[in-house]
Amino acid sequence: MLIALFPKKCYIPFRPHSMRILKGSEAMKFSTRAIHAGQEPDPTTGSVMTPIYQTSTYAQAGLGENKGFEYSRSGNPTRAALEACMAALEEGTYGLAFASGMAAETAILALLSAGDHVVSCDDTYGGTYRIFERVMRRYGVEASYVAARNVADYEKAIRPNTKMIWLETPTNPLLGLIDIQKVAAIAHAKNLLVVVDNTFASPYFQQPLKLGADIVVHSTTKYINGHSDVIGGALVTSNEEVYQSIKFYQNAAGGVPGPFDTWLTLRGIKTLAVRMRQHEANALAVAQFLYEHPRVEKVYYPGLPSHPDYELAKCQMSGFGGMVSFQFKGTYGDVAQMARRFRVFALAESLGGVESLVCHPASMTHGSIPRAIREARGLTDTLLRLSVGIEDIEDILSDLEQALAAGR
Ligand code: P1T
């Protein structure tokens, strides 16, 4: 009933193409899949790299005679390669790519109808909160929020009209973890869909479908692409009904990425494994440095034994990721001064690129959350979020050292 809006007949199938490509890669290891899944030498030229099929439409031999593609909103070969690659990395059956992470989220939320309810964790990207509160609410879909880590609270928040549980783990920006397996068990006992935003971990460190999630969503703008030159989104599911509904919506609403952006993303994915390893090594060194620093009140990094979810991180994830947040011991004025002092880190929104970024969530990524709600969640004016890049760690640490002297 959840997906009655999207009749199967209207779905334009591309599965034969992407499934064929996916098949051979199933047994391969992660790094190999990142480079090859969904990508074969071009059948006409032998081009090793998937071409940028920069076309809006496809010539048809006769009525009803096409080669699997009719119009690029419905499907495009470069995009099909990215979708198959994403599915292979998340170990799901179906991938779908979108013009942004928010477009992918919107496509998932379009599974819902007026009168439905979503339970969401309370620490999510500000734009996720914004789409729940300022878009979905107007369409009659209500969200309620529970403290990210408290598994029992998800069960308590379920109402008769709840259809979906929305998780982001690790959370943005406080790096809290949610036990996906436990929440999925609660959700499935009540026939609810579980969505996991896996942007922070990337499939290299966490594969939510294997832990019971029904849909995994990414802002591919971040680690997946990894070079801060694309806005994109993707989702993966193994649930055929869900796939068909969202595929229908993708074509109907049209929030698709262009061929060049999908190609750049495919190119970025090839180095995902090596990038993630270096992001993690640098982030761990940064977290340890901040932990010891006299001007740091608190460090949020799941790879520190002092993190409340350290044990969960060790079993749910295969690495701790490249994001570190911290509370600065000083005034807002000191933080404002610090923001101008960074030399290696750029003061910028976004994350997951090869270069280090520093963000002030209260005024940047989470500025759309009303101040009272934001502060109650711990997003104070002295909280800073670091996307630790893969530059030389000595340069990263000395930049932090000089920036932390702000206000002295
Ligand atoms: O920016 P876009 O590609 O639309 O992705 C949205 C999004 C979804 N999920 C998570 C966890 C995110 O972090 C984001 C985007 N986040 C930022 C821009 C940021 O700096 O946190």
**Atom of ligand 1 lying closest to residue 364 CA:** 20
Work out the angle between the directed axes of helices 332-341 and 393-403 (0-180°, nearest 10): 140
- Token pair in block for residue 174: 């406080």
Measured in angstroms, how far is the CA atom of residue 60 from the centroid of ligand 1? 38
Measured in angstroms, how far is the CA atom of residue 125 from the centroid of ligand 1? 6
Output the residue whose Cα is nearest ligand 1's atom 19. Answer: 350
Q: 82 is in which domain, residue-wise? A: 25-269
Measured in angstroms, how far is the CA atom of residue 74 from the centroid of ligand 1? 25
The reply to whether 243 and 361 lie within a common domain is no
Measured in angstroms, how far is the CA atom of residue 122 from the centroid of ligand 1? 15
Measured in angstroms, how far is the CA atom of residue 221 from the centroid of ligand 1? 8
Nearest to 256 by CA among 80, 135, 395: 80
pLDDT confidence of residue 24: 52
The reply to whether 72 and 190 lie within a common domain is yes
Last residue of a domain, one of 218, 235, 269: 269
The reply to whether 246 and 113 lie within a common domain is yes
The reply to whether 322 and 261 lie within a common domain is no
Last residue of a domain, one of 213, 246, 269: 269
Residue from 172, 216, 351, 386 whose mutation best tests the ligand 1 pocket (most atoms within 8 A of CB): 172
- Tell me how far apart the alpha carbons of residues 373 and 24 are, in angstroms, rounded to a whole number: 48
Which residues, 6+ apart, have CB-to-CB distance to 161 below 8 Å?
115, 116, 117
Question: What percent of the chain stands above pLDDT 70?
Answer: 94
Is 12 a residue whose pLDDT tops 90? no
The reply to whether 166 and 96 lie within a common domain is yes
How far apart are the two ends of the chain, measured CA to CA in Å? 61
The reply to whether 310 and 253 lie within a common domain is no
The reply to whether 260 and 280 lie within a common domain is no
Which residues, 6+ apart, have CB-to-CB distance to 230 below 8 Å?
220, 221, 261, 264, 265, 268
* CATH code at position 70: 3.40.640.10
Residue from 120, 221, 264, 374 whose mutation best tests the ligand 1 pocket (most atoms within 8 A of CB): 221
Which residues, 6+ apart, have CB-to-CB distance to 218 below 8 Å?
86, 101, 104, 197, 198, 199, 202, 224, 233, 234, 235
Mean local confidence (pLDDT), 246-266? 98
Q: Checking DSSP bridges between strand 162-168 and strand 193-197, what pairing results, if any? A: parallel
**Atom of ligand 1 lying closest to residue 349 CA:** 20
The binding-site residues of ligand 1, defined as CB within 6 angstroms of any ligand atom, are 100-102, 125, 127, 168, 172, 197, 199, 219, 221, 231, 233, 349-351, 359, 365
Measured in angstroms, how far is the CA atom of residue 63 from the centroid of ligand 1? 42
Residue from 130, 196, 219, 387 whose mutation best tests the ligand 1 pocket (most atoms within 8 A of CB): 219
The reply to whether 328 and 340 lie within a common domain is yes
Residues recognised as catalytic? 73, 125, 197, 222
Query: For the segment 338-350, what is each residue's pLDDT rounded down to a tens digit?
Result: 999 999 999 999 9
Output the residue whose Cα is nearest ligand 1's atom 17. Answer: 350
The reply to whether 161 and 250 lie within a common domain is yes
- Cα→Cα distances 376→39, 265, 335, 336, 370, Å: 47, 36, 20, 22, 10
Measured in angstroms, how far is the CA atom of residue 10 from the centroid of ligand 1? 31
Output the residue whose Cα is nearest ligand 1's atom 5. Answer: 101
At residue 112 the predicted structure's pLDDT band, cuts being 50, 70 and 90, is very high
**Atom of ligand 1 lying closest to residue 359 CA:** 20
Query: For the segment 38-80, what is each residue's pLDDT rounded down to a tens digit?
Result: 999 998 899 999 999 999 999 999 999 999 999 999 999 999 9
* CATH code at position 383: 3.90.1150.10
Is 374 a residue whose pLDDT tops 60? yes
Output the residue whose Cα is nearest ligand 1's atom 2. Answer: 101
- Tell me how far apart the alpha carbons of residues 12 and 75 are, in angstroms, rounded to a whole number: 9
The reply to whether 279 and 168 lie within a common domain is no
**Atom of ligand 1 lying closest to residue 102 CA:** 4
Domain membership of residue 18 (yes or no) is no
Mean local confidence (pLDDT), 381-385? 97
Mean local confidence (pLDDT), 274-282? 98
Query: For the segment 163-218, what is each residue's pLDDT rounded down to a tens digit?
Result: 999 999 999 999 999 999 999 999 999 999 999 999 999 999 999 999 999 999 99
Query: For the segment 313-322, what is each residue's pLDDT rounded down to a tens digit?
Result: 999 999 999 9
CB 167 within 8 A of CB 121: yes
Measured in angstroms, how far is the CA atom of residue 101 from the centroid of ligand 1? 6
Which residues, 6+ apart, have CB-to-CB distance to 21 below 8 Å?
37, 38, 39, 40, 80, 81, 84
**Atom of ligand 1 lying closest to residue 103 CA:** 4
Output the residue whose Cα is nearest ligand 1's atom 3. Answer: 101
At residue 7 the predicted structure's pLDDT band, cuts being 50, 70 and 90, is very low
Overall number of domains in the chain: 2
Residue from 125, 197, 261 whose mutation best tests the ligand 1 pocket (most atoms within 8 A of CB): 125
Domain membership of residue 326 (yes or no) is yes
The reply to whether 291 and 260 lie within a common domain is no
**Atom of ligand 1 lying closest to residue 222 CA:** 3
The reply to whether 198 and 83 lie within a common domain is yes
**Atom of ligand 1 lying closest to residue 172 CA:** 11
Domain membership of residue 327 (yes or no) is yes
- Considering the entire predicted model, what is its pTM? 0.94
CB 398 within 8 A of CB 405: no
